[in-house]
Amino acid sequence: MKIVGTPRRRVDGRAKVTGQTKFADDVVLPRMLHCKLLRASVPHARLVRIDASRATAHPGVHLVLTGNDFPIPYGILPVSQDEHALARDKVRFVGDPVAAVIARDEQTAFDALDLIDVEYEPLTTFADPEDSLANPTPRIHEYGDTGNVHKLVSLQFGDVEQALADADRVFEDIFFYQGNTHLPIEQHAAVAAKDPDGKLVLWSSTQTPHYVHRALAKTLEMPAAHIRVIATPNGGGFGGKSDPFNHEMVVAKAALLLDRPVKICLTREEVFYCHRGRHPVLMQFTTGMKKDGTIAGMHVKTLLDGGAYGSYGVASTFYTGALQTVTYHVPAYHFQGCRVFTNKPPCGPKRGHGTPQSRFGQEIQLDKIAEALTQDPAELRLRIVERPETLTANYLRVGTIGLSECIRRVTRAADWANTFRKLPHGRGVGLACSSYLSGAGLAIYWNDMPHSGVQLKLDRSGGVTAFCGATEIGQGSDDVLVACVAEVLGIDPLDIRPITGDTDLTPVDLGSYSSRVTLMMGNAAIQAAERARDLLADAVSRKLGVPRERLVFADRRVFDTEDPGKGVTFSDAVCLAEAAFGTIGTTGSYTPPKSAARFKGGGVGPSPTYSYSAAIVEVDVDPDSGWIHVPRVWIAHDIGRSINPVLVRGQVEGSVYMALGEALMEEQIFRRLPPRLSDALVHKFPSMLEYKSPTTLDMPEVFTELIENPDPRGPFGAKEVGQGPLLPVMPAIANAVYDAVGVRIDEVPITPEKILKALDAKAAGKAPRYGPSHFPDIPWPEPVRVAPPWEGGDGKAQDVGRQKEEGRSTAAKAVIRS
C-alpha cells in the first residue's frame, strides 16, 4: 500500500494553518440578524407567564420567540423526545432556554433579554441522584421508569449468584466518577437562512447533521427534503455537539419567519450549561475470582446522574455495563443500571460515552485483586484477556484483540518489572487496560438502511470528488475518506476533493460519534472506489489489450503489472471510461453486521469490532502536600491498521491529554447561590479559567506504541482510535498513586486534598482510601435473563414464566447455601 500507513499532511491541513477553515461563526451573510437566548435563572419551576412585549418593542429587535412557537418536542433518542426548543410549561435547570430575541446585532439582542418578564412558580430542586431516588414527586418529567428515575436496567447473563458463591474470593468495591465536560475551544454556533427557493439552510457546529436534519423536520413540521443541514467543521466536539440543540431550532424558525439569515453563537458560559457531558456515576463492582486468577463472575451496579433531560442517557446507562466483558473473559455477568433526572444541565456522550466511568472502577478493582492474590497486575490481566473472534457473555461479537500485545509493549517500554512496587515512596507506576467500539452497531433510530454512504464523481479532468455525510470534527474524517479512495485508485490524496457533512449534497452518514467514521465511512469509500476502479480497468483493458486482472493502479497511472511501461495516466483512464460508459459516478455503502444479541437492551454495545488499549502512568506524589505530578505515560493501542499514522498518534495523545484532565482536575459541579440571591443551583465555575483543564505545563511526555494487526472488518484493517486510548489512563493514574503512597483514591478527580485525606486515614489506622462507601437501594426490576453462549444460549431472553421458576429456585438455593 502506498497511501495507507504512510505519515502524511492531512487533506485539510493547509486550510487549518492558514485560518481559512470556515467554522460556523465564520459564516457571515448579507442582512444577517443575531439571536440571543434568555435562559432560566431558576433550576426547577413552573412557567407561569412570559411577557415579551417590552422586548418586542425595543428598537432593533425583529422577533421574540417563546415556547408557544415550538409545540413539538424532540430529543436525540426516539425513547426520550423530552426537549422543546424553548420551555413551554416548566424549566428544569438553570440555563434551560425560555425565550429568544432576534435583533440587528448581538448587543441589541442581549440588551432586550432584560426586557422579557418571566414569572416562575418554584418547584423542589433535585441536586443529586439520591434526592431524586428518595423523592418521586414533583416529577422533573412526566415520563420515565418511575418517579424521577429515568431508566432502570437489569441484564443477567448466566447464574451470577452461583458463580460468586462458587468463587474462591469475592471482591466488592464502590467507586465514584465525577462528571466533566467536553470544553471544545469552539463555542457552539449556528446560522440559518432561507435559500432563494424558499428552503431552509442551517450551518451548524454539529457532529450529527443527519440527526439535526430529522429533528428540524419534526419540530418545524417541514418536509426534510426542504431542509439542508451543513455541518461546518467543528472546532472540537468530543461528543458535546452530538445532540440536536435548542439554538439550532430557534435560528431555523426565526430565519423562516423573518426571511433573513439569523446567527447565534453561544457564550462560553452557555456552552457549560449546554453540556451533554460525562455523567457522574456511582458504581459498585462485585467480582468473584478463582484460585487460578481468572474471573468467576461479576455483578456491576451503576447510578447515573442524568441532569435535566434524556439526551443520549438511555444509551449512556447501558454503556456503563456493556464493555466489561469485551476486555476480559467474564463467564457470568449481571449488570444493573439506573439513570435519574436532576435539575442540572443534561449529561450525554463524552469521549468514551458511558464506559470510562465503569472502566475506572473495573481497572482499579483488578489492581486491588492482583494485590490481594499477590499477583502482578499485568500477569493477572494477561490471563483473563477475552478470546478473539468470540461471543461474550452479553452477546458482543469481538473481532481481533491486540490487548495482550498492548500489555506486553507498555510493560516493556515502561520497564514495569523494575519499577512496579520498586520505586521509592512518593513515586509510583500504575497499569490499566480498556476496549472500545469501532462504531455503534445500531443507528439512533431503528432502520434497515446503511450507516454510511459515499459517492464518487470522476471526470475527464482526472479529478475525483468524494461525497460523504461524515462530519469533520478535527479527528481527520475527511482525510480518511480521501486516503481510502486514493489508495484504491492509485492517486494522491490531495488529488481528491472531499465534500462532507451536507445533507443536500452528500449521502447519509450517521455522524461523528461512537468512533464509527473510519470503519463505516472507510468501508463505504473503498466499495465506491473499487466500483470506479472496475470501470476504469475495463476501459483501459480494452484500450491496451491487457487483461483486467493484470492492471495496477498506482502513482497516478494505470499499467500492466507485467510490463509497467505499458499503461495510461489516471486522467486518460478516466477519459477512456467516460467514453466507454458515460459519466462516471459510483456509490458505496456500509451496514454493520447484525448483532447476535436478541434481547431487549442488546442494542447498545454491539460493534463491528473493538479496539484495545493499555497504559502505564508514572506519578510523583508529594506525601506532605498531596501534590501529584505525572511525568510520563506509556500507551499502546490496538489500531488494527493506521490509515494516517500522524493522525492516529494525535488521537492517542489527545485522548491521554483529555484523560489526564478528567483524572486530575476537571469537574462539572454545582453549588447553591446564597439564599439572599436566589438559592438557585448553578454551575460552580462556568469559565475556562476556573474549570481547570491541562495546559502545556501539565502535560507529561507520552510514549505511544501502535499495534498493527489488521482486522478484516475494518477498511484496510483499521479500527477506531478516537476514544479508546482515553479509557485506561484515569484508572492507571489511581493505581499509580497507590503504588506511590499506598492509598486508594476511588474517585475522580484525584486531587491533592483527597490524597491527604486518605493519607490521614491511613495514619489513623483507618482504611487507606478516599471514596464512596455506600451504594443506595434502588428498586431494580426483574432482570432480563439471557443464557451465555457457552450455556447453549441463543441471544434471546429466557422465557419469563421460566425465569420466575428459576428465580424461585435460585432463592431456594440461596437459602440452602446460607
Partner 1 sequence: MVQITLTVNGEPVDVAVAPYKTLLEVLREDLNLCGTKHGCELGECGACAVLLDGQPVLSCLVLGVDCGGRAVTTVEGLASDGRLHPLQETFADLGAAQCGYCTPGFLVTAKALLDEHPRPTRDHIRDALSGNLCRCTGYQQIYEAVEAAIAKGSR
Residues that bind partner 1 (CB under 8 A): 9-10, 12-23, 25-26, 28, 182-187, 233-238, 267-268, 473-476, 646-647, 649-650, 653-658, 687-689, 693, 695-697, 699, 701-702
Q: Measured from the CB of residue 16, what is the shortest distance to partner 1 in angstroms?
A: 3
Which sign does the torsion angle of CA 218, 219, 224, 228 carry?
negative
Give the Cα separation of 768 and 764 in Å (integer). Answer: 9
Residue of 431, 434, 414 whose CA lies nearest to 355: 434
Sign of CA dihedral 366, 368, 372, 378: positive
| Distance of closest approach, residue 686 Cβ to partner 1, in angstroms | 10
Nearer to partner 1, 18 or 461 (CB): 18
Q: Which CB, 297 or 725, lies closer to partner 1?
A: 725
* Residue 118 C-beta: closest distance to partner 1, Å: 26
The amino acid at residue 415 is D
| Smallest separation (angstroms) from partner 1 to the CB of 649 | 7
Instruction: Kindly state the smallest distance separating residue 475's Cβ from partner 1, in Å.
Output: 7
The strands making up 584-590's β-sheet, listed across from edge to edge, are 496-500, 464-468, 452-458, 584-590
Task: Report the nearest approach of partner 1 to the CB of residue 360 (Å).
Answer: 20
Q: Which is nearer to partner 1, 288 or 476 (CB)?
A: 476
Q: Which is nearer to partner 1, 278 or 381 (CB)?
A: 278
Nearer to partner 1, 697 or 764 (CB): 697
Q: Residue 205 or 394: which CB sits closer to partner 1?
A: 205
CB 100 → partner 1: shortest distance, Å? 20
Shortest Å, Cβ 17 to partner 1: 4
C-alpha dihedral over 731, 737, 739, 740, to 10 degrees? 160
Cα separation of the two ends of the chain: 63
| Closest to partner 1 by CB, 214 or 351 | 351
Q: What is the DSSP string of 230-268?
A: EEPPPS--TTTT-S--HHHHHHHHHHHHHTS-EEEE--H
Looking at the Cβ atoms of 455 and 644, the one nearer to partner 1 is: 644
DSSP string, 77-95: STT---B-SS-SSEE-STT
- Report the residue number, 216 or 647, with the smaller CB distance to partner 1: 647
* Rounded (5°) CA angle 194-275-138: 105
Q: Among candidates 300, 435, 286, which has minimal Cα distance to 355?
A: 435
Q: At what angle do helices 377-384 and 403-413 cross, to 10 degrees?
A: 160
Per-position b or e across 322-337, b if 16+ CB within 10 A of its CB: bbbbbbbbbbbbbbbb
Q: How far is the CB of 185 from partner 1 (least distance, A)?
A: 4
Between residues 185 and 763, which has the closer beta carbon with respect to partner 1? 185
> What is the number of other CB atoms lying within 10 angstroms of the CB of residue 92?
26
Rounded (10°) angle between helices 377-384 and 355-372: 120
To partner 1, the closest distance from the beta carbon of 749 in angstroms equals: 17
The DSSP symbol for 109 reads H
